[in-house]
Amino acid sequence: MLISRLFAAAALACGCLVAPVSLQAAPLTVADGRSVDTAGDIAANPAGFLLVYARTKVDSGVDVSVRVRQHTAAGRPTGRELVLDRKPIALFDPVVLPLATDKVAGFWIRGGEGIIGRTGDTRTGVMAAERPVMPQLAEAYMDAAVLPSGRMIVLAYRFDVSAGVTKRLAVSVVSSTLQPIAGPTFLPGTPANYVATAAQDFQVIALKSGGALVVHRNRTDGHVYAIPVSAAGRPAATATRISSASMPIGSGGQQAQFQVEAAQLVNGRVAVAWTRIGSTNADDAFDIRHRVIGANGAPLLPERGTAATREEQVAPEVVALPDGRFSVSWTNNGSAVDGRPRSYLVRHFNADGTPAIGQRRLYIGPRATNTEIAEYALSGPRLVLVRGIGTLPLTLDGLFTSY
């Protein structure tokens, strides 16, 4: 008995112990034979979770729509699907925020116009008119969060022509009805070159104190920084670096893989995870790092490696757990050259960033029919990982597991 306990403790410490997985899968969208569904930033709410996605019909010109649907904790669709927008042009990077019972706000990027927002009711299907939220974007990525006051904050790169042409992150604050309150306001830090590779390398999260925290990768030095923003939309004067290990800039194709995610924990601290270029070896070109910081952005605990294996780890997501821990999901890209399949993994961590369990592999399958990007959120008493499956049509399904 003692030997087995010592072996288990050693395996957990090195990350070799693979915890048992209680897993269920549920289809979230229905194939129509001519569409590709792409998940946006899903959100947990008391009824389960909100799925937001872009549907692109590919059989007759361009037909793109942004849709939101309430799902139960088990993945069953309920209420009315909200079609927030439908246009014969590109619509990018949708985000959904829960406002109140059945009430939601959706944000997305419309090509040539910027960030658009719309509120609606998932029970009745009634929607308010869409409203412009942030114009003149520099790239097709954005993020948003709902503050404790009910206001919402949005984040995106905009062009800055004050000293040449550069790209800088900016925030705007809007009311619960999408009326402008503050911004767009540029954040501090070194601007990005206007030709810098676009990536989902930034996020804004709401803080229990009332304000928000922005985490992002500086595209000049490659490091990850944190910037507090007040509830009124005023950013701190300086950004705090939170990554300590070397952060190679990488090539353009590698830069597009960078991703930064965060979540505030029960104790008020913030867990941040990000993609890091490891080496030029195709088998471990990227890995995932994480660190626990204060709500003011100051590092509190050491930076740690997230995964227990050395294969290509990308697309991290962070979820704060009700018991005080946090969970990180990522995609193991396998290898197209060697024919290794793609898999989705999760690992839970204690509030200090140390591993609570060994990493769990939720699914492994062909690269060609499983998307690289997957979204991760609480769903009632479980966690849900939303991935795309198929080719054409490509639909979304949820992998549900306990925590």
Domain tally, the chain: 1
229 belongs to a structural domain: no
372 belongs to a structural domain: no
The DSSP code for 321 is: -
How far is the C-alpha of 49 from the C-alpha of 65, rounded, in Å? 20
311 belongs to a structural domain: yes
84 belongs to a structural domain: no
16 belongs to a structural domain: no
List the domain range (segments joined by +) for residue 338.
242-365
CA atoms within 13 A on the CB side of 71: 28
356 belongs to a structural domain: yes
**Residue of 223, 105, 228, 120 whose CA lies nearest to 174:** 105
> What global pTM score does this model have?
0.92
320 belongs to a structural domain: yes
211 belongs to a structural domain: no
- Tens-of-pLDDT digits for all 403 residues of the chain? 323 332 233 333 334 444 446 688 999 999 888 899 999 999 999 999 999 999 999 877 789 999 999 999 999 999 999 999 999 999 999 999 999 999 999 999 999 999 999 999 999 999 999 999 999 999 999 999 999 999 999 999 999 988 789 999 999 999 999 999 999 999 999 898 888 889 999 999 999 999 999 999 999 999 999 999 999 999 999 999 999 988 888 777 788 889 999 999 999 999 999 998 865 545 457 889 999 999 999 999 999 999 887 778 899 999 999 999 999 999 998 766 666 789 999 999 999 999 999 999 999 998 889 999 999 999 999 999 999 999 888 999 999 998 8
**Residue of 343, 400, 366, 320 whose CA lies nearest to 28:** 400
**DSSP structure string for 70-99:** EEETTS-EEEEEEEEEEESS-EEEEEEEEE
